[in-house]
Amino acid sequence: MIRSAISHDAPEAVPLIFEAIGSIAFVLTGTKVLAEAMSILEQYFQQQGNRVSYENALVIEEPDANAGDRRIIGVAISYDGAVARRLDEPLEEAARLQSGSSVYRIPTEAEPDEYYLDTVSVNRNYQGRGIGRQLIEAVCDQGRQLGRTRIGLLVDVTNPDAKRLYERLEFRVNKRRELADEEYFHMVRDL
């Protein structure tokens, strides 16, 4: 069952988010220490008005478990590209403090004219069952409801499996980008 995330989902959602974003987590948090990065991401997931907020997340729970026992097995974070810079500002301020750098800046990933799929992650034990596809289609529906005509995402150039998945879902590469010293394809899909 796909549902909007709530702040209390942080302990289950954040490890999935981290698994998907990897080194970008350190850019977002201003630390290179894993435990600190996870703690900061968890705090921001529980708050409103930032990129990794529960407000921007959909989760999917185990389909066969009893209602009270369902675990989160997938998460997707998405938002309007037009507000991406504003959503980065709270994290950027915290990263400045954490890193000690007064000029710390988080690079904006989203293009202003697109709905942006920031993160999609599925628990390894549930991969290959169409869960990622369900989350991506739900995010596309959100973009359409906001009147957006395009959705964008970044995929690591060293992850051909993810690129193929997105291509099967009608995404196409429109350019390459560097972020956190790594190369990414910016991929888009018409909505």
Closest listed residue to residue 106, CA positions, set 179, 39, 53, 46: 179
- What are the residues facing 186 on neighbouring strands? 154, 175
pLDDT value, residue 63: 78
Residues of the chain with pLDDT under 50: none
Q: Count the domains in the chain.
A: 1
Compute φ and ψ for 180, nearest 5 degrees. Answer: 55, 40
Whole-angstrom CA distances from 45 to 57, 90, 107, 147 are: 9, 12, 19, 26
HSE-CB for 2 with a 13 A CA cutoff: 20
Q: Looking at residue 113, which CATH number applies to its domain? A: 3.40.630.30
Helix (H, G, I), strand (E, B) or coil at 182: strand
Whose tokens are 């968890």? That residue is 42
> What residue numbers bound the domain in which 118 lies?
2-190
Compute φ and ψ for 103, nearest 5 degrees. Answer: -110, 15
What is the rounded distance in angstroms from the CA atom of residue 146 to the CA atom of residue 144?
Answer: 5
- pTM above 0.85? yes
Whose tokens are 């409801």? That residue is 145
Residue pLDDT, tens place only, 45-54? 999 999 999 9
Residue pLDDT, tens place only, 117-147? 999 999 999 999 999 999 999 999 999 999 9
What is the rounded distance in angstroms from the CA atom of residue 181 to the CA atom of residue 183?
Answer: 7
Helix (H, G, I), strand (E, B) or coil at 171: coil
